[in-house]
Amino acid sequence: MSENQESGKKRRGCGFGCMLLIGLFVGLGIVVAVLLAGSLGLLNLPQQGWHLGNLIHHGKVEADVGEDEAPYMVETWSAGNGDAKVIRIPISGLIMLGNDSWYTGNANTALRSIRRATHDPEVEGLILEVNSGGGGITDSDIIYKAVLDFKAAQKGRVVVTIMGDVAASGAYYIALASDCILAHPTTLTGSIGVIMQSYNIKELAAKIGIKDETFKSGENKDLLNPFHDVSPEQRAMLQAVIDALHSRFVKLVSEARKISEADVRKLADGRIFVADEALARKLIDGIGYSADAEKEMTRLLDAEEINVIRYSEDVSFLDLLRSRRGIGMSMSDFLKPRETRLMYRWWL
């Protein structure tokens, strides 16, 4: 082969390779631009309609309902072919609601899903898949109330809970809003109670020369200050708060499970129960699996078959970076001091 022919092939090869690289970069640039525009809200994307990935029509809601009342969710067909539309909603991990905390993704999404289903007249039931040791008192109560609101918004609606590995404390609190509670044979549940913890580093601080300088408007303004002992009066004050919140939990269990408050209090010392014992003590309605929850839902709705849908939210790369509500994380999450707060939580 001559030298001219060989150099000509090299030039053609280089030209093709360069064109290919340019094409890839241009294509990647277009994709990034579209994603960026969508993330910043510059594209007028439809909030309802057909989702090409699933070919399932999104439920319709009233036009005057806001985003926080009926969030936009992507619907995916999960199981069944019936006419009765049922939404499958997982509630897992620490139950904490918030705007930018990296651990709150599931709790926020679960709450948004319940609110979305509430305003969709086609939805007749919820299947809550609970796998959590609980979380914040108010956070658990907000989700509990959202489930009650779902049922109250439309006559005949039904909620069934199926528990996973753990459904304790605040997670069990949420399940109390259900019409039927099922546990897997290996589920741990219960832990009916309230917990509050803090640290006392007074002696350690003295050893390393750290002094506390706190200016306050009242004796109890720095309650649970880790540099000071808790006085007997303050202990009594905190215990009274915990007892009041514990009594609310006991009352809800009594009302939902048709058990006397006296009998509930005997169980409400924070202990956990395996499925058989929880059933014997009437804390749950049965033992089974996901298919059993679907059968129970079908029975309660008096339907021949149900159509189970699961929700998801469209999340962009920028959502992960900028900490969209309940999604992603920010450096502030790692810099925040540990909070002392009241919890409906099983302490592992």
Stretch 95-106: mean pLDDT: 62
> Residues 9-20: pLDDT tens digits?
455 555 666 676
Q: How many CA atoms lie within 13 A of 246 on its CB side?
A: 19
Where do runs of H (alpha helix) occur along 95-225? 105-118, 137-152, 170-175, 202-207
Residue 33: inside a domain:
no
Statement: residue 235 has pLDDT above 70: yes
Tokens 């067909």 found at: 77
Share above pLDDT 70 across residues of the chain, in percent, rounded to a whole number: 71
Residue type, 268: A
User: What are residue 157's phi and psi, to 5 degrees?
Assistant: -75, 150
CATH of the domain at 102: 3.90.226.10
Q: Is 221 an active-site residue?
A: yes
Number of other CB atoms surrounding residue 210 within 10 Å = 11
272-311 burial: b if 16+ Cβ within 10 Å, else e:
bbebeebbebebbbebbebebbbebbbebbebeebbbbbb
Residues 135/345, Cβ–Cβ less than 8 Å: yes
Tokens 């003295």 found at: 206
3-state secondary structure 121-150: CCEEEEEEEEEECEEEHHHHHHHHHHHHHH
Where do runs of H (alpha helix) occur along the chain? 3-39, 105-118, 137-152, 170-175, 202-207, 232-257, 261-267, 275-280, 290-300, 317-322, 331-335
Residues 114/193, Cβ–Cβ less than 8 Å: no
Q: Is 169 an active-site residue?
A: yes
SS3 117: helix
Residues 155/276, Cβ–Cβ less than 8 Å: no
Residue 210: inside a domain:
yes
> Residues 48-58: pLDDT tens digits?
433 333 334 45
> Residues 266-277: pLDDT tens digits?
999 989 999 999
Residue 74: inside a domain:
yes
Q: Which residues make Cβ contacts (< 8 Å) with residue 196, sequence separation at least 6?
A: 238, 242, 340, 341, 342, 343
Share above pLDDT 90 across residues of the chain, in percent, rounded to a whole number: 42
State the pLDDT confidence band at 318, using cuts at 50, 70 and 90: low
Statement: residue 244 has pLDDT above 50: yes
CA distances (Å), origin 154, targets 35, 122, 257, 265, 310: 38, 10, 23, 34, 20
More confident residue, 74 or 17: 74
Whether this model's pTM surpasses 0.85 = no
SS3 307: strand
Query: Number of structural domains, the chain?
Result: 1
122-160 burial: b if 16+ Cβ within 10 Å, else e:
bbbbbbbbbbbbbbbbebbbbbbebbeebbeeeeebbbb
Of 107, 38, 83, 46, the C-alpha closest to 309 is 83
- The active-site residue, picked from 101, 169, 191, 254, is 169
User: What are residue 139's phi and psi, to 5 degrees?
Assistant: -60, -45
Stretch 134-145: mean pLDDT: 92
Range of the domain at 336: 52-345
Q: Is 180 exposed, middle or buried (0-12, 13-18, 19+ CB in 10 A)?
A: buried
Residues 172/140, Cβ–Cβ less than 8 Å: no
Residue 233: inside a domain:
yes
For residues 219 and 138, what is the distance between their CA atoms, to the nearest angstrom? 26
Statement: residue 47 has pLDDT above 70: no
Rg (CA), the chain: 27
For residues 255 and 263, what is the distance between their CA atoms, to the nearest angstrom? 12
Stretch 42-49: mean pLDDT: 41
- The active-site residue, picked from 221, 251, 266, 336, is 221
For residues 34 and 31, what is the distance between their CA atoms, to the nearest angstrom? 5
Residue type, 87: I
